[in-house]
Amino acid sequence: MKIRAGDLVVVISGEDKSSSPRRVVQVVDGGDKLRVEGVHQVKKHVRRGHPKSPQGGQLEIDLPIDSSNVLFYCGHCAAGVRLGVKFTEEGSKVRFCKKCETEVGTIGAAKANRSAGVSS
């Protein structure tokens, strides 16, 4: 999965659809689902003595949403975009914005057998 915890994403479908970027809190099920701040919030009623609410009451928690409902937010484009993966000349694997070709972050360290022309 190309989206990681800590990335900014735009929700493109569902009840919480908006063009404003939100932060990914957790990646669940190997990248199939994501927990995003303020998206898909529900109230959970807990009894007294619960670790997050010792006095009891209602907790607001974010449930996971499907990763197909979000797009990565590119700060350079100021919009939701798709991500691609490519190898640099040094042999490291990086994520990049498919719209403006800006590199977003490194996925893997440089290896001897990787080159810019080889894809896997």
- Locate the DSSP E strands across the chain: 8-11, 22-28, 33-36, 41-46, 57-62, 65-66, 70-74, 79-81, 83-87, 93-97, 103-108
Q: Would you state the pLDDT for residue 89?
A: 86
pTM of the model: 0.80
* 72, 81 contact by CB (below 8 A): yes
Q: Would you state the pLDDT for residue 120?
A: 47
Instruction: Report phi then psi at 111, rounded to 5.
Output: -125, 155
Q: How far apart are CA 106 and CA 85, in angstroms?
A: 9
Condensed to tens digits (0 to 9), the pLDDT of residues 17-64 reads: 998 999 999 999 888 999 999 999 999 999 999 898 899 999 999 999
